[in-house]
Amino acid sequence: KSKALRHLPNPPSPKPRLPFVGHLHLLNKPLLHYSLIDLSERYGPLYSLYFGSMPTVVASTPELFKLFLQTHEAVSFNTRFQTSAIRRLTYDNSVAMVPFGPYWKFVRKLIMNDLLNATTVNKLRPLRTQEIRKVLRVFAQSAKTQQPLDITEELLKWTNSTISMMMLGEAEEVKDMARETVKIFGEYSLTDFIWPLKKLKVGQYEKRIEDIFNRFDPVIEKVIKKRLEIVRRKKEKKGQDEETEQSVVFLDTLLEYAEDETMEIKITKEQIKGLVVDFFSAGTDSTAVATDWALAELINNPRVLQKAREEVESVVGKDRLVDEADLQNLPYIRAIVKETFRMHPPLPVVKRKCTEECEINGYVIPEGALILFNVWAVGRDPKYWDRPNEFRPERFLETGAEGEVGPIDLRGQHFQLLPFGSGRRMCPGVNLATSGMGTFLASVIQCFDLQVVGPKGHILKGNGAKVSMEERPGLTVPREHHLLCVPLARAGVASKLLSS
């Protein structure tokens, strides 16, 4: 400890700390956020652990989140840990994982100003609409044949294809590779590191990482080559063709920057590839998992579904399909999205690293410590939410006693709701993810009833038509079981889907 902080203790910690494993033996539930809740009941909202030999600090109140991620973030908590799988597969250039510094600042600015800014994202709206229509047609086909549909799988295809199209202008070859990459990140995530420690066969993982890398790299190389050609051709035609303006995907912008001699930092091809992997790993599973939770909640809460349907029918009607632009007039759908993130944050524990020793609430947080923010626990804490285990989107539309509840949003300023983190390293994809999810939900609500398929393959009826809300560990936390349904097309616009 530095001289100034020497008189202060570290946050309370369980005793004893065992050799080699530290406190890993205390994380005895398969899902990290539950083990952390158990420990916080004994050691309070701020406590420390050793994950093996790694000092770890756990925070589980909005007040603490604010101290870490607002008051002290700039100096002490603006960096993350990276695993060797992530390092290799993002070409050691993951914007999500690189330490705070000039390269992170440069790429983050580029993401905010040129890729995920409102204008660029708006220009790519037709592309997102097309991807949603594609999934709706798969639903319609299944409604026609009355065959069960693995909706969880369709959601993953949808988000993969959408990110791939926006990033690269194509999806076919890349998206399966991208899914493999994201999968191995999951296997290497902290949860898996701790829980089935026995299963961790490092040598085997490394071989798989190399194998994925060696297959992914030529595919992405090929896409870059192809896109460079397109960018060059577009340059030659500049001004002559309105359409070329419309179809600028993220990779085009990045390739232009790579050739721009006037940039403060010149982006390299490796860095571009890293960013492509980053967007796949950060944006696909997370959005699909959240949408899956939302659909499951709608199935289990017919009252909410009915109210949402009334809203969609009164705002959009039955003659045309929902569009992303409708979302601003669909407050109840937007509240459903927030309520889903409150109860089911796809990343239940947000992680940072302490880069400079610091005092929080009279305790010293040591340099190098892993910091865990139990976002899941706060989202379900009755101190901050009325009847927290009820899926009740209305809570986001009501004005609380102090006028507080209504305006709560997902942008990292309301510390009781942080599914996208907060501060400098907050998720830059929050708008893209929430608007995609809202549009998708409203479209499905408008066009289909989802009939749940039971374990024996038959359609469940009446009060028994519910789905399980168990969780499974991974890079994100999805539902334990895939969502299997037979969609039933609703009168009106759904009937046109197959012919469009």
Q: Which of the stretches 139-147, 170-178, 361-369, 419-427 binds ligand HEM when contact is defined by CB under 6 A?
A: 419-427
Q: Which helix (H) or strand (E) holds 358?
A: strand 358-360
Q: Which of the stretches 18-26, 188-196, 399-407, 425-433 binds ligand HEM when contact is defined by CB under 6 A?
A: 425-433
Q: Which of 159, 232, 223 is nearest to 439 (CA)?
A: 159
In whole angstroms, the minimum distance from the beta carbon of 28 to ligand HEM comes to 25
Listing DSSP states for 63-93 in one string gives HHHHIIIIISHHHHS-B----HHHHHHTTT-
Contact 46, 361 (CB under 8 A): yes
Put residue 421 in one of left, alpha, beta given phi > 0 → left and psi -120 to 50 → alpha.
left
Q: Which of 251, 73, 261 is nearest to 167 (CA)?
A: 251
In whole angstroms, the minimum distance from the beta carbon of 77 to ligand HEM comes to 9
Among 184, 231, 327, 433, binds ligand HEM (CB under 6 A): 433
Q: Which helix (H) or strand (E) holds 46?
A: strand 46-51
- Total of chain residues touching ligand HEM, rule CB under 6 A: 26
Mark residues 86-115: x for contact with ligand HEM by CB under 6 A, - for none.
---------xx-----------x-------
Does 380 participate in binding ligand HEM (rule CB under 6 A)?
no
Nearer to ligand HEM, 22 or 393 (CB): 393
Does 55 participate in binding ligand HEM (rule CB under 6 A)?
no
Q: What is the dihedral of CA 160, 161, 165, 166, to 10 degrees?
A: -40
Does 279 participate in binding ligand HEM (rule CB under 6 A)?
yes
Check whether 427 is labelled as a binding-site residue: yes
Q: Report the largest interatomic distance among the alpha carbons of the chain, rounded to a whole angstrom.
A: 73
Q: Which of the stretches 184-192, 275-283, 327-335, 486-494 binds ligand HEM when contact is defined by CB under 6 A?
A: 275-283
What SS3 class is residue 186?
Answer: helix
Contact 428, 475 (CB under 8 A): no
Q: Which of the stretches 22-30, 308-316, 384-392, 413-421 binds ligand HEM when contact is defined by CB under 6 A?
A: 413-421
Among 24, 425, 450, 486, binds ligand HEM (CB under 6 A): 425
Among 290, 316, 354, 370, binds ligand HEM (CB under 6 A): 290
Does 377 participate in binding ligand HEM (rule CB under 6 A)?
no
Residue 11 DSSP code: P
Specify burial of residue 381 (Cβ count, 10 A radius: 0-12, 13-18, 19+): middle
User: 118-123 — which CB contacts under 8 Å span 24+ positions?
Assistant: 118/431, 120/248, 120/250, 120/253, 121/431, 121/432, 123/245, 123/246, 123/248
Q: Which residue is nearest to ligand HEM (CB)?
A: 421
Considering only residues 386-405, where is the footprint of ligand HEM by CB under 6 A? none
In whole angstroms, the minimum distance from the beta carbon of 373 to ligand HEM comes to 8
What SS3 class is residue 388?
Answer: coil
Does 327 participate in binding ligand HEM (rule CB under 6 A)?
no
Considering only residues 237-266, where is the footprint of ligand HEM by CB under 6 A? none
Does 419 participate in binding ligand HEM (rule CB under 6 A)?
yes
Instruction: Tell me the binding residues for heme.
Output: 427
Where along the sequence are the contacts to ligand HEM (CB under 6 A)? Answer: 95-96, 108, 278-279, 282-283, 286-287, 290, 346-347, 350, 352, 419-423, 425-429, 432-433
